[in-house]
Structure 1
Amino acid sequence: MGTHAVDQDVERLAAQARSALVREIERSGAWDADPIWREAFEAVPRHLFVPYYYVGVVGGFERLWGEERDPRRRERWVRGAYADAPLATRVRDGELISSSSQPSLMAKMLAELEVEDGHRVLEIGAGTGYNAALLAHRLGDDLVTTVDLDADITEAARTHLRAAGYHPTVVTGDGARGVPERAPYDRIIATCTLHSIPRAWLAQCAPGGRVLTPMATGLVALRVMDEEHAEGRFLHTAAFFVPLRGGGEPEGTHPHLGGLPRQARDHDLFRFLLTLTAGSLDPHEALALWQREGMPSRERYGITVSGDRAWAWLDDPEGPYAWPLP
């Protein structure tokens, strides 16, 4: 089979798989808050952003890539690129260091970002470039900036974006410092987990701006009042992302869970509370609170930033349950 025929074959498969993915996201309700995102997911070819990725196999990872000679393996690569699942895109010494997020979660986050035409957006964590392409499709190249610490990642993201026909600004740098030279932003979205809210982001946000970032095992949406004040609640959704590298982020603390009932230890909402309050709430105190408050769901929690203080809270920023953030 000639190269041209192979390319046509891949494009045909990709178009079918992309349509199926869009239908799946539609059914999940992920973009119900802002259905215009459907157009971006229909248009942006995800397979160009994952020319290769890794799938877990017994004892490690197997690589699938677009240059496969075997048509069956090539088809596996295309179909996998459009699965509603996260894809491992960079593995170093057997450890996952970068991935492309689950498309329905990306759709949910983009819908919750509440963008409007003309908004300037900063993305923290360029990854493969796919999310930046979705943003650029909606808003235009000039209004989108994405930053990543690793030059290999930003170089690859630029290459993927060019191949797909998008040209947002891609910056190599520490995401915790933002990208001041392109500020102010109306929206900031992070695709990596944080332990605290970088003040640089608030300073680079226009008043009334919105910051959406993973934290603990959830997503918090903050409204920015000015460079020293922001507040918001967690969304209902669970979210697991690789941590932000650089930026003086503390290493994740893993509290000792000995003596806690297994039922609580394994419960998603209890683990969320433990992660959110790590370092400031003893796990046994956390369990007592969690049971007393009726196993609170994520949207009862929130974050407030005020001057040099930042804290997480349950139900009310000034209420009895508040925990300082690092």
Structure 2
Amino acid sequence: MGTRTLDDELADLAATARAALVREIELSGAWESDPVWREAFEAVPRHLFVPYYYVGVRGGYERRWGENPDRGAREKWMRGAYADAPLATRLRDGDLVSSSSQPSLMAMMLAALRVRDGDRVLEVGTGTGYNAALLAHRLGDDDLVTTVDLYPEITEAARRHLAAAGHRPVVVTGDGARGVPERAPFDRIMATCTLSSVPLAWLAQCAPGARVLTPLATGLLTLTVEDAGHAEGRFLHTPAYFVPLRGESRPEPEPAHLGGIPGHARGDDLFRFLFALTRGSLDPQEAYVLWEREGRPRRERYGVTVHGDGEWAWLDDPEGPYVWPLPVR
């Protein structure tokens, strides 16, 4: 029997850590509605997609990487790659520009996407390529998956990661808000970056009955597409915080001053969701009064309608008394 190498031991550690991650996601209930995703998470090695990442430390970030000559550091990198946590993968001037999302949140989003055999899927926000690999594994056909990101260095790295994992979906460098019209029509569109409204270009690239899942405000919006000019749907229950879509042409809104809002609301995730969703329509005090009057509504009570050139968010009913316009891209 030959001597085991560090690479052998790291491979064993990866298998053990991946199995532990799958068990953790299973216990979270993330794919309860579509358990087929378990097989994808068992099969796709996350560590191939994060050859290095950054963890926050006092005063900045610490880089962990898989080629570190120190044995303990490489083991630490491997364990971190399979933690059920988001991983910062690209920084620019100290700001986060790309990350690998928390695996249990990814699993929940993929289950909520309701992918069917043969679906053509567009992912907006390639990141490391891990999510595209999970989709390609689930569909069993790389050509059914298209993924787009703005920066060439991100898409080039993702192609390398995907090839190392045995997948070659179509990776496009471009503005995700414009979709990928040459690969349309799509049955599913999934974004892994936060938007301020739903790009109309996506609807035009969807097949009738398509499903769109995108972060918006601090939630996850699911839309059913009727045709190129109409889609409607509600938010899922979970909070979600993602890197903003790169290439946004509108400036970020000024930070809100919530000084007049009671402390219990300022720190409440559901109030902050309502305020983020209604920015430009409600001032903080108006948002607070509505939030209290309506019983501090959960995310599932909110939805979005896209119709023609208009787009609006609503509480409970798209034609009810609480409707707020969203900016249209």
Bigger mean CA deviation after superposition, 23-32 or 275-284: 275-284
Aligned partners of 1:132 and 1:168 also within 8 Å: yes
Any residues of structure 2 matched to 1:214-225 within 5 Å, and which? Answer: 214-225=215-226
SS at match of 1:34: coil
Q: Does residue 1:103 correspond to 2:120, yes or no? A: no
Deviation at 1:252? 4.0
Bigger mean CA deviation after superposition, 181-190 or 94-103: 94-103
Distance across 2 between alignment mates of 1:324 and 1:4: 62
Any residues of structure 2 matched to 1:1-326 within 5 Å, and which? Answer: 5-139=5-139, 140-326=141-327
Task: Identify if the C-alpha distance between structure 1 residues 147 and 236 changes in structure 2 by more than 3 Å, giving closer, same or farther.
Answer: same
SS at match of 1:96: strand
Letter in 2 for 1:84: D
Bigger mean CA deviation after superposition, 145-154 or 250-259: 250-259
* Deviation digits for residues 54-83 of structure 1 (CA, Å, limit 9, x no counterpart): 011110000000001111111100000000
Aligned partners of 1:30 and 1:105 also within 8 Å: yes
Deviation at 1:254? 2.6
Distance across 2 between alignment mates of 1:56 and 1:237: 24
Deviation at 1:308? 0.5
Which ranges of structure 2 fall in alignment gaps of 5 or more residues? none
Deviation at 1:282? 1.0
Deviation at 1:6? 2.5
Give % identity: 74
How many equivalent pairs are there? 325
Task: Identify if the C-alpha distance between structure 1 residues 201 and 105 changes in structure 2 by more than 3 Å, giving closer, same or farther.
Answer: same
Letter in 1 for 2:57: V
* Deviation digits for residues 94-148 of structure 1 (CA, Å, limit 9, x no counterpart): 1111110000000000000000000000000000000000000011201000000
SS at match of 2:5: helix
Distance across 1 between alignment mates of 2:158 and 2:4: 25
Deviation at 1:247? 4.2
Distance across 2 between alignment mates of 1:263 and 1:125: 34
Distance across 1 between alignment mates of 2:159 and 2:251: 29
Deviation at 1:208? 0.2
SS at match of 1:22: helix
Task: Identify if the C-alpha distance between structure 1 residues 28 and 252 changes in structure 2 by more than 3 Å, giving closer, same or farther.
Answer: farther
Letter in 2 for 1:145: T
Which ranges of structure 1 fall in alignment gaps of 5 or more residues? none
Letter in 1 for 2:194: T
- Find runs of 4+ consecutive structure 1 residues off by over 4 angstroms: none
* Deviation digits for residues 151-177 of structure 1 (CA, Å, limit 9, x no counterpart): 000000000001111000000000000
Distance across 2 between alignment mates of 1:46 and 1:292: 45
Deviation at 1:255? 2.2
Deviation at 1:26? 0.1
Distance across 1 between alignment mates of 2:294 and 2:275: 14
Task: Identify if the C-alpha distance between structure 1 residues 120 and 4 changes in structure 2 by more than 3 Å, giving closer, same or farther.
Answer: farther
CA RMSD of aligned residues (A): 1.3
Letter in 2 for 1:223: T
Distance across 1 between alignment mates of 2:169 and 2:85: 25
Distance across 2 between alignment mates of 1:4 and 1:116: 42
Deviation at 1:230? 0.2
Aligned partners of 1:52 and 1:65 also within 8 Å: yes
* Deviation digits for residues 201-237 of structure 1 (CA, Å, limit 9, x no counterpart): 0000000000000001000000000000000000001
Task: Identify if the C-alpha distance between structure 1 residues 199 and 280 changes in structure 2 by more than 3 Å, giving closer, same or farther.
Answer: same
SS at match of 1:225: strand
Deviation at 1:248? 2.5
Distance across 1 between alignment mates of 2:208 and 2:244: 27
Deviation at 1:256? 2.0
Distance across 1 between alignment mates of 2:152 and 2:8: 32
Letter in 2 for 1:123: E
TM-score by length of 1: 0.98
